[in-house]
Amino acid sequence: MILFFYNLALLTALVVGAPWWLWRMATTQKYREGLMERLGRVRPGWVRPGRRGRFKGQSPGGAADDRPLIWVHAVSVGEVLAVSRLVKTLDAALPDFFIAISTTTRTGQELARERFGANRVFYCPLDLPWAVQGYLKALQPRLLVLAETEFWPNLLSGCFRRGIPVAVVNARISDRSWPRYRRLRWLWRPFLERLDRVLAQSETDAERLKAIGCRPERTSVAGNLKFDVRAAEETEAARVLKALAPDLRLIVAGSTLEGEEAALVEAWPRLLEADPQLVLVLAPRHPERFGGVAALLDKSGVAWVKRSDWRSQLAGSLKPLEPGEIVLLDTIGELASVYSLAAVAFVGGSVVPGGGHNPLEPAQFGVPIVMGPNYANFRAITDDLRSHNAVRIAPKEDLAGTLIEMLLDRSAAAAMGERAKQVFDQQAGATGRCVDALRELLSPETLRERPS
């Protein structure tokens, strides 16, 4: 009955919102890309399997493949980064399985194709009955793995009806989302109580998930996969930055939101006065804001360059960076590697009320970290770093002063960075725990004995 009213509300929303969506699709490329996949059209390369859980004939890239399939869903860039090591570990641990990855956003799709190969990445269908059933019928996954809290009623119900185990990895409920989930627990309970495994990031997350319907005996704490995220290799952006600024110090401001770039540009003269040998790297969180940040830099009068412009120039013809220049990192998937070059890292989405972003990306390199006070989306991680004096929290009005303090006291900054790296290393291991749990779900004995 809940599913019926959910689908009725979904259909009503689609009808009422159709003019707006049609307008957005007509004017914005990101709303058109992958549209047919989202509506349930499976790519021709995804040959319908001949028996449960196996490809028959070809994999998406066209190569012959008859392995059972595991479907991993990661919404956007953050989730793709979180499951990157998990997918690679599953590839090695389960060579008899084909791992397919879906995303929701365009940026997540681009990064997933880069990380895993386009032959096994697709857009997740919208949670419409016909779209979901089209994919489940074509893929017939042996296991569905959801990253964080991607609970979609039609997708879950379709898996339950087909006897497909569903696991959630890196599961969490943020402080911001918790009141809403708690109010709607009557809606979620019929779906969440049928999940086969829920692997939470922390004890708090596990308790919240159990409170809204996840069964205690199937819910456990595996840790945060993002503690296992490491930059796979040095990116082109990092190599070029090292070559163009060998004797300069970098402040890397990552995952910034609107208002944060302006605050940093405004503070830039003060920062240069404290340390004239600086270069600022700005990495906006959302690609659609690259143009707006470029306009801000043009208006500021500060010398700046776009990282994407380097791609069209020969390496030997690139002009070295000058002290005081700003680099706009307008590419996807290169921020983590660029953090490794930072004298100080500012993790964005935290000075403005954006919930914060992942401080582990710079922590893995022993880089001292500055954040604002709005970090609810990464509270457990940030509080752990704070408890070890491995991060500085500064409101907007103190941001420039805190960065200057870190730049001037190099020994204290280095010690803070080293403590951050120790926290990162101590918390690693979530990937292995998740892989063990997923392998158990795939064992013949578990599949035979699955409770309903």
Question: Torsions phi, psi of 152, nearest 5?
Answer: -115, 115
Contact 252, 345 (CB under 8 A): yes
Annotated catalytic residue, options 37, 79, 110, 361: 79
What is the C-alpha separation between 393 and 6, in angstroms, rounded? Answer: 42
What would you report as the CA-atom Rg of the chain, rounded to the nearest whole angstrom?
23
DSSP characters for 214-249? --GGGEEE---GGGG----S--HHHHHHHHH-TT-E
What is the C-alpha separation between 338 and 244, in angstroms, rounded? Answer: 13
Active site (annotated) includes residue 334 = no
Structure-token match 């959910």, residue found = 6
Is the torsion defined by CA of 388, 419, 414, 286 positive or negative? negative
Tell me the residue type at 170. Answer: N
Tell me the residue type at 113. Answer: R
What is the three-class DSSP state of 157? Answer: helix
What is the C-alpha separation between 283 and 210, in angstroms, rounded? Answer: 37
**Distances in Å between the alpha carbon of 371 and those of 26, 231, 290, 353?**
38, 21, 21, 12
Least Cα distance to 257 among 330, 357, 385 occurs for 357
Task: State how far Cα 322 lies from the chain centre.
Answer: 33
What is the C-alpha separation between 374 and 391, in angstroms, rounded? Answer: 14
Contact 127, 68 (CB under 8 A): no
Contact 375, 350 (CB under 8 A): yes
CA atoms within 13 A on the CB side of 443: 9
Q: What is the largest CA-CA distance in the chain?
A: 68
Q: Residues with catalytic annotation?
A: 79
